[in-house]
Chains A and B, each alone.
Chain A
Amino acid sequence: MSSKLSDWFKERLGLDDLPFFKTPDYMYKVDYWLGALVASAFIYTVITGLILLLYYNAQAGYNSTEFVINSVPYGSVVLYSHLYGAYAMIILAYVHMFRNYFAGAYKKPRELLWIIGVIMLVLTLGTAFLGYSLIGDALATSAVDVGEGIISSIPGLSIFIPLLFGNYDAGDYGRVLAWHIIFTALIGLLFVFHFFMAEHYGMMPSRKVKDKVPAVYTKEEWQKFNPWWPRNFVYMMSLVFLSWGFILIIPNALAYLNGLPQQLNPFLNPKPAPPPNSPAAAHITTYPPWFFLFLYKIADFTSDVLIFLFIGVIIPLIYLILVPFLDRTEYLHPLKRKVFVGIGILMATYLIQTTIWGDLTPGVEIPVGQQVLVYLPPAIIVALGLTAIKPRTDNKGNIKGTISPITVLAFVLASSLFVIAGIELLANPTILTVGIFIPLAGIFVLTTKKIAPIALKAEQKSENMAISEERVPEWKKKLAEGLVAVLFIYAVVLAAQIWTIPATGYFSNLFGVDLGLIFLMLGEGISLYHYVVYRK
């Protein structure tokens, strides 16, 4: 029955003839699907954004935000998850970008794909900034004020302020809302190009298959892979629902956290701050949204706006856009293009470092000496580390044993967090800093352990292993089948329970948590289905 139905759709929609890339077995790993994750966060955010559009009144930004949260049925669920959908999109976009950077995915013939991706990142950050401003709370207005300040201090640019923000000071957010939507539409448009280009070139083949540019499968090669329908579709759906589940669960659970310390507020608090003209606004430290904390900190380094813009925005951006033309080597292996990999690691490290720094000391000016103290060590570590690691080759001259880019990112993140927590602990030893330091130290040790054996002595793995999937023993499939049944039972129980949650008020956020859990189960169920049915 269902196969007849799917055949029907398959014929009507011509699914077999779609020019979509066919996927080899080894690519069904999340590494290769980061773009799909970004896209699903984007789609989620667009859907919830359209719902919010039904309620948001640009003439009364803060009031209508409060209205959505307090009076619209499940309004806070929609609003908070819209916010976190955007957060997820930003984080995933960074991960997606750095992963492809380290994998050399910007190289021939993917230069344009890469550049469009960078532009999309800029647009995403811009959209996020505008969306954040729409809340109209004290933080949002101060963020816009800072934005305005930056623009107006560049000679000749102040004419853009009314163009961009309209009559913002008078509480009219019409322009901000309009640009928020226009930017989103632009992202959508570029996404179409980005997506079809990616489908056209196909995903990056594993380095073990093709370690030189152009890293594409020929048409003859990829004709033999799994067709897009239904396996890719099934795998993609599992990713979509999993990410939607997290986007729903996290903010709605966080809504129940109260009285966070200031440092955690910008990262974990989905609720708006008090309105700018209220007495309470006087008592809050203003800080920008977390994704701009790094810029906020860089602004403390210099009083010259142009220098600030060059360091914080223009140079990194130009570098990212130009990198496909700067890195002309034909090798994809990270260790064969150490300079670029080094720059990449430093960019990621500095981004995280500066963000955390901005969070710890918002708006506090930093003398040059301290800046050097913070930014020099990672540079030295990376430079020494990269020169020390020699790519090992086997007798055929192929490079063996590699560290996955994700592991590198995790390592960089863990070590910078570790270093910062250490500095913070030395600077003011309190229970809080000790409490933060110990788990971070643990994580650092663990990631180092994971990376050390690979980095020190290249792993002995036969090349074919990674390419062909290992056969899955029957009992594992049986287990997966059982798990799907368990998930089904839980989903039904939760679905029944979800109807009893009040639509507004304190408990309404549980709806988001429960719905997110059901989405997780659906995603996990589909992923297990994929495992049982498609894995060999």
Chain B
Amino acid sequence: MIRFKSDKEDKPILDYSNLTFIRKLTRKMRDPKTKFDTKEFINRGEDYLFNYTNKNVGSVDEKRRKFLKSLIFGIAAAAVVGVIPGLKVLVPPTVTVTSGFPKSLLVDSSGNPIKASQIPVNSPFIVIFEYPMTGEPNFLINLGDSSGKPVEIPSTIVEVPQTGKTYTFPGGVGPNKSIVAYSAICQHLGCTPPYIHFYPPQYVGPSQLTASEPDQLTAAALLAAKQAKVPALIHCDCHGSTYDPYHGGSVLTGPTVRPLPAVVLEWDSSTDYLYAIGAVGVAAYPNGSNGVPTNNPNEDLSSSFGSPVGDKTTVQETENPFSS
């Protein structure tokens, strides 16, 4: 800044931006391309000068413009700073469990462990827990005979009709070896409860042929139950697939070509607690690779959607479909 020394105080006469402005203006005036027309200036006076500078050097108010510009850039910078945390959206999610199934304690909605001996036999309620990932529901059923006494479920070989392959279902757990858990996602087209659910013995009869959705049974399902000599079923009302809960969730009637995957349970006899420790069968629909079910029970654990349930999973009683 050029200062003019007077007797009383410093008086700034020209600050730097004014200086550059004048330099620029005089350069433009000399430039043959943008020559300042003195005749015009004499004719039109100030107006011409004003227009000329506006056109060639920019507004006379250069300083104000700069100040405003810096403010705008400041707001823009604030916007950039604000967007930065949003970039977290680009960080891919990490799936912590890809190697094995978690061991999860089954708890009730208030967080207390479920006692195996207190699970009602042949309950018509839809009882569900998520495992191994969130969003993957499984039935928890205490199986009994037609008089309501718990039935021991032995280990069986289950066949996958689609591939002809087989796998071993480990059998029931609990004080009576009667408690089983199966995926609650129909292996046909993925219907979930209440369309697919457990039918206790009292509901496996001709009266269900005319019941309304989602409690209807098909004649084929009834016949299959009779032939297999099982008192109760898991049936999907979407298209009529029927599964046998007494034999590892194997297929009783189509259209499904895959049994229900089973959750492997563990019962601690000292505490009466139940744990989910794994799964057998094809990967849960439809989260297998490309939606095509595989024989690899770990397949759905590598899916990037949903997160593992962790060491506890909540058992919920959603509703009794037969009462409505």
Contact = CB atoms under 8 A, between A and B. Distances in A.
Interface of A: 2-3, 51, 54, 57, 59-60, 63-64, 66-67, 71-75, 77-78, 169-172, 241, 275, 277-279, 481, 484-485, 487-488, 491-492, 494-495, 498-499, 501, 503, 511, 514-515, 518-519, 521-522, 525-526, 529, 532-533
Contact of B192 (A66, A277, A503): A277
B191 interface: yes
Given A491-B74, A498-B81, A503-B85, 10 more contacts: A54-B90, A60-B305, A63-B305, A67-B305, A72-B93, A77-B86, A485-B71, A487-B75, A491-B75, A529-B72
26 contacts: A2-B69, A2-B73, A59-B286, A60-B287, A64-B305, A66-B135, A67-B305, A72-B89, A72-B93, A74-B89, A75-B89, A170-B291, A172-B286, A278-B192, A279-B193, A481-B64, A487-B71, A488-B71, A503-B85, A503-B88, A515-B86, A518-B78, A518-B79, A522-B79, A526-B72, A529-B69
B162 interface: no
Contacts of B119: none
B318 interface: yes
B85 to A, nearest CB: 6
B111 interface: no
Contacts of A499: 84-85
A191 B90 CA distance: 28
A171 B291 contact: yes
Contacts of B135: 63, 66
B64 to A, nearest CB: 7
A228 to B, nearest CB: 16
Interface of B: 58-59, 61, 64-69, 71-76, 78-79, 81-86, 88-93, 135, 189-195, 238, 286-287, 290-291, 303-307, 318-319
Nearest to A517: B82
Contact of B68 (A74, A169, A275, A481): A481
Given A51-B90, A66-B135, A518 B71 contact: no
B59 A533 contact: yes
List the 8 shortest-distance A-B pairs measured between CB atoms, nearest first: A73-B88, A495-B78, A491-B78, A59-B291, A491-B75, A495-B82, A495-B81, A498-B82
Contacts of B84: 499
Contacts of B71: 484-485, 487-488, 525
Contacts of B89: 51, 72-75, 77-78
A529 B90 CA distance: 33
Given A73-B91, A170-B190, A525-B71, A511 B305 contact: no
Contacts of A72: 89, 93
A533 B65 contact: yes
B255 to A, nearest CB: 12
Most buried by A among B82, B193, B307: B82
Contacts of A78: 89
Nearest to A169: B189
A275 B185 CA distance: 13
Nearest to B290: A59
A494 B82 contact: yes
B213 to A, nearest CB: 9
Contact of A171 (B67, B189, B195): B189
B82 A518 contact: yes
Contacts of A498: 81-82, 85
A381 B190 CA distance: 54
A58 B268 CA distance: 41
Contacts of B73: 2
A342 B71 CA distance: 48
A511 B81 CA distance: 12
Nearest to B133: A63
B319 A279 contact: yes
